[in-house]
Homo-oligomer: A and B are copies of this chain.
Amino acid sequence: MNIGQASEASGVTAKMIRYYESIGLMPPAGRTGSGYRVYGEQDVHMLRFIRRARDLGFALDDIRTLLGLWRDRERPSAAVKAIALKHIDELTQKIAELQAMRRTLQHLAEACHGDGRPDCPILDDLAETGHDGARPAKAQTSTKMQIKKNGGDRSPPCH
């Protein structure tokens, strides 16, 4: 089957399929005499695997490892679990950060009249001197997570 059909069957865009091949996440596809890529059920299966992993927020680098473990019939399940747990940690951390931001913003928004008057606690907070805007400390939480970016589309209602 063509790349377009593989895309249709896997839910991964043709663009991404080529990209995954270019970075070695997918093995080089077979080619027809005229250069068209050719895919089989195996490939579609792998693409679905990748897609599902992306939907769960795994970075392509982790997916690369997961694919290796998937292929390896002798893998210790501990290796897989470790990757999952690490990812759960990252998610937990990121969630905490976002919640902290939201909490602060909600307080500020509640305090803001939101009318025609110029007084604004939100701006006051941002402009406030003393948020520890000083020193360029760098002990960030730097979660390197990536997690999808576009409209992957799918996701039917859970019933």
Interface of A toward B, CB cutoff 8 Å: 7-13, 45, 47-49, 51-53, 55-57, 66, 69-70, 72-78, 80-82, 84-85, 87-88, 91-92, 94-95, 97-99, 101-102, 104-106, 108-109, 112-120, 122-123, 125-129, 131-159
Contacts of A105 in B (CB 8 A): 56, 84, 87-88, 91
Asked if B153 and A149 sit within 8 Å, CB to CB, the answer is yes
Pick from B72, B77, B145, B152: contact of A112, CB below 8 A.
Answer: B77
Would you give the shortest CB distance from A110 to chain B, in whole angstroms?
Answer: 10
How many of these chains are in the complex? 2
Query: Known contacts being A8-B136, A56-B157, A152-B155, is A118 close to B88, with CB within 8 Å?
Result: no
- Bound together, the chains give a CA A133 to CA B135 distance in angstroms of 47
- Bound together, the chains give a CA A124 to CA B116 distance in angstroms of 57
Query: Known contacts being A114-B78, A118-B75, A133-B51, is A92 close to B88, with CB within 8 Å?
Result: no
Pick from B66, B106, B149: contact of A144, CB below 8 A.
Answer: B149
Q: Which 8 A-B residue pairings sit nearest by Cβ, starting from the closest?
A: A140-B151, A137-B153, A48-B133, A158-B158, A81-B114, A155-B155, A77-B120, A149-B151
Contacts of A142 in B (CB 8 A): 149-151
